[in-house]
């Protein structure tokens, strides 16, 4: 296993992070489509990941209505100190007007609720699961700063923020001398590279860690589906079309990835993960699994070294179109440097 620095902190996390959306929710839509795993399966998957050197596990308070955190907490009994444990807050967790968002009321209540469900006294990385257009960033950041000072949280991060929102939050933290975001969790895959326009330059410039969710585009990049037929009934993508994907682009990328996979004797999924791990800004790729063989295949991506020509072909196949002002910045860039006489 490879370990990478989490942003500009002194902490290191495995380049493969175990995601837990498959844990729990066997009778609750849409979680049964994502996994619905109970404790024996969860314990086996967590154990296999730890044996492979994974020291980073990501969950959220909302996954299966809190059941994911509960199952993970049970699976980590006696092994809690082996992992960097991450969870999230934002989603609605009750019917009340204050049971959602990033107010001091909701965040403080959910930190304590997550600690109880996880069976731990601290959360290593506490992430804002989305952007709250109601709560001022000063209120949320002060609350998170208090949680860090109280020892309940070690680091803070965000997920699904736009670049301008992250920049604003970093500015507020610096101005008010509050705890700084150290990571961004975002959707990124060979078939979904929108974040390269604005988010990636900000992440790189600010020295934030990039944690990738849905690296296989909701299972589409597993290679099981074809242009003419979706994946077999019962698979995640067949039941839950998330995240949205440009299917033609996805299959263009798969057409390039498939012969590369055959050349290395591996799955298309492993190629997709190896491509992400080759991207300079990526800190950790979050993988979820319903079966041990799926997990084993994903874990093996750390050992797949793609050739330069293979990476170039994959880069070209899934390259996002140039957007303004990016294309004009690119045209101006070379003229900024002295030209040879």
Active site residues: 63
Q: Phi and psi (nearest 5°) for 23?
A: -90, 120
Ramachandran quadrant class, 207 (left: phi over 0; alpha: psi -120 to 50; beta: rest)? left
Q: Which residues contact 326 (CB under 8 A, 6 or more apart)?
A: 197
Contact of 300 with 261, CB cutoff 8 Å: no
CB 102 within 8 A of CB 90: yes
**Which residues, at least 6 apart from 27, have a Cβ–Cβ distance to it below 8 Å?**
36
Does residue 218 contact residue 230 with C-beta atoms inside 8 Å?
no
Paired residues of 37 in beta bridges = 23
CA distance 248 to 261: 20
> 42-62: b or e for each residue (b if 16 or more CB lie within 10 Å)?
bbebbebbbebebbbbbbbbb
Rounded to the nearest 10°, the torsion over CA 28, 32, 35, 40 is 60
Q: Are 144 and 90 in contact (CB under 8 A)?
A: no
C-alpha distances out from residue 105 to 44, 70, 257, Å: 36, 22, 47
Return the half-sphere exposure (C-beta side, CA atoms, 13 A cut-off) of residue 234. Answer: 2
Q: How far is CA 285 from CA 87, 289, 316, in A?
A: 15, 13, 21
Other beta carbons less than 10 A from residue 98's beta carbon: 11
């Amino acid at each position: 296993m490879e370990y990478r620095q989490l942003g500009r902190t002194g902490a290191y996390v495995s380049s493969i992070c175990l995601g837990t959306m498959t844990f729990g929710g066997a009778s609750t839509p849409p979680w049964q489509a994502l996994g619905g795993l109970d404790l024996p399966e969860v314990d086996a998957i967590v154990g296999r990941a730890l044996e492979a050197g994974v020291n980073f596990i990501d969950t959220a308070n909302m996954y299966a209505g809190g059941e994911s955190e509960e199952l993970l907490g049970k699976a980590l009994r006696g092994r809690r100190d082996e992992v960097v444990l991450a969870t999230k807050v934002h989603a609605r967790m009750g019917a009340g007007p204050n049971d959602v968002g990033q107010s001091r009321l909701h965040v403080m209540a959910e930190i304590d609720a997550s600690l109880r469900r996880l069976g731990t006294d601290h959360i290593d990385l506490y992430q804002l699961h989305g952007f709250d257009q109601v709560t001022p960033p000063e209120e949320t950041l002060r609350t998170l700063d208090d949680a860090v000072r109280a020892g309940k949280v070690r680091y803070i991060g965000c997920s699904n923020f736009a670049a301008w929102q992250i920049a604003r939050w970093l500015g507020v933290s610096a101005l008010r001398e509050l705890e700084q975001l150290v990571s961004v969790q975002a959707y990124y895959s060979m078939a979904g590279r929108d974040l390269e326009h604005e988010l990636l330059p900000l992440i790189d410039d600010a020295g934030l860690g990039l944690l990738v969710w849905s690296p296989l585009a909701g299972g589409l990049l597993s290679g099981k589906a074809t242009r003419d037929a979706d994946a077999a009934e019962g698979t995640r993508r067949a039941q839950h079309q998330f995240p949205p994907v440009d299917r033609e682009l996805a299959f263009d990328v798969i057409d390039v990835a498939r012969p590369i996979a055959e050349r290395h004797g591996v799955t298309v999924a492993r190629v997709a993960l190896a491509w992400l791990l080759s991207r300079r800004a990526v800190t950790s790729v979050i993988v979820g699994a319903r079966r041990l063989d799926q997990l084993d295949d994903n874990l093996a991506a750390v050992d797949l070294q793609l050739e330069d020509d293979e990476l170039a072909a994959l880069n070209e196949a899934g390259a996002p179109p140039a957007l303004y002002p990016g294309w004009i910045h690119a045209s101006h860039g070379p003229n900024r440097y002295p030209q040879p006489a």
